[in-house]
Amino acid sequence: MFFASCGGNGGTVELKSEKDSLAYAIGLSYGQYLSQLGERYDLDSLDMEIVKTAMLDALDSNRTMTLDMATAQTFFNSCLEKREEGKRKSELSKFEGNKQKGKDFLEKNKSQEGVQVTASGLQYKINKKSGSGKKPLPTDVINVHYTLKNINGDIIESSKDQGVPAEFPLNRVIPGWTEGMQLLEVGDQATLYVPFDLGYGERGGRGIEPFSTLVFEIEFICIGEGCAGGNK
């Protein structure tokens, strides 16, 4: 065991024993923890004397706690949650404009030839109808090729880049897909125009901004797990 001291290293305290080093190590650990909390809270606004008193209360079983541990932990977690929620709302506010952009896009798009609008607000257009008569149920697994775009026409992702069709259970995708695919028949080629609340909502993800209206170009290949085999 080594003992650090202030000699020559700019230290703030001289450590003469193993216990001194342990005491300093514990203090550093608590200090680092408080520093991490400082990334979430304005510690300068807190009364550090209360912090010190609470630490002494926790260390000495003969002292009377103002808050019991369970209550204190619940309150602390509640503060963290409120802080994170406030931060999340602040981040989401940057994307609020996407709602109106999507609304304007859909309002204009619904008058385009061949575009149909459902009660939910989903828009779709069948570009090439197969006439197969085979429609999926909500519990079916489907195979499709798709290209996902934003309303500016920029490609976000495409199954064709992977070289094989995408396969997924229809009841485990965004609501716009669950509804839209049931309107199509196997072999159809179509476009879905999905409002943000039928898409990824405020979550966004995978290169999709929160509150984004999305455009999916779809080729409906088949129904059934593994039905596409190695087809491209």
pLDDT tens per residue across span 146-180: 999 999 999 999 998 988 899 999 999 999 999 99
Instruction: Note whether 111 and 70 are same-domain residues.
Output: no
Domain end call among 93, 110, 125? 93
pLDDT at 229: 76
Distances (CA, A) of 171 to 114, 115, 149, 160, 179: 27, 24, 22, 23, 9
Instruction: Note whether 109 and 172 are same-domain residues.
Output: yes
* 5 found inside a domain: no
Instruction: Note whether 144 and 120 are same-domain residues.
Output: yes
Instruction: Note whether 76 and 163 are same-domain residues.
Output: no
Condensed to tens digits (0 to 9), the pLDDT of residues 43-95 reads: 788 888 888 898 888 888 888 888 888 998 998 888 888 888 888 888 888 99
Domain end call among 76, 93, 110? 93
Provide the total of helices (H) and of strands (E) in the chain, helices listed first.
5, 7
Mean pLDDT of 24-37: 85
Closest by Cα among 216, 158, 150 to 183? 216
Report the percent of the chain where pLDDT is more than 90: 54
* 33 found inside a domain: no
pLDDT at 91: 84
Instruction: Note whether 88 and 103 are same-domain residues.
Output: no
Pairing relationship of beta strands 141-150 and 155-158 according to DSSP bridges: antiparallel
In eight-state DSSP terms, residue 116 is E
Q: Which domain holds residue 84?
A: 38-93
Instruction: Note whether 120 and 199 are same-domain residues.
Output: yes
Asked if residues 123 and 106 have their Cβ atoms less than 8 Å apart, the reply is yes
**Higher model confidence: residue 187 or residue 35?**
187
Asked if residues 148 and 157 have their Cβ atoms less than 8 Å apart, the reply is yes
In eight-state DSSP terms, residue 91 is H
Instruction: Note whether 84 and 165 are same-domain residues.
Output: no
* 24 found inside a domain: no
* 169 found inside a domain: yes
Instruction: Note whether 54 and 167 are same-domain residues.
Output: no
Task: Name the band, by pLDDT with cuts 50, 70 and 90, for residue 104.
Answer: very high
Residue 162: which CATH number?
Answer: 3.10.50.40
Asked if residues 167 and 142 have their Cβ atoms less than 8 Å apart, the reply is yes
Asked if residues 159 and 148 have their Cβ atoms less than 8 Å apart, the reply is no
Instruction: Evaluate if residue 2 carries a pLDDT over 70.
Output: no
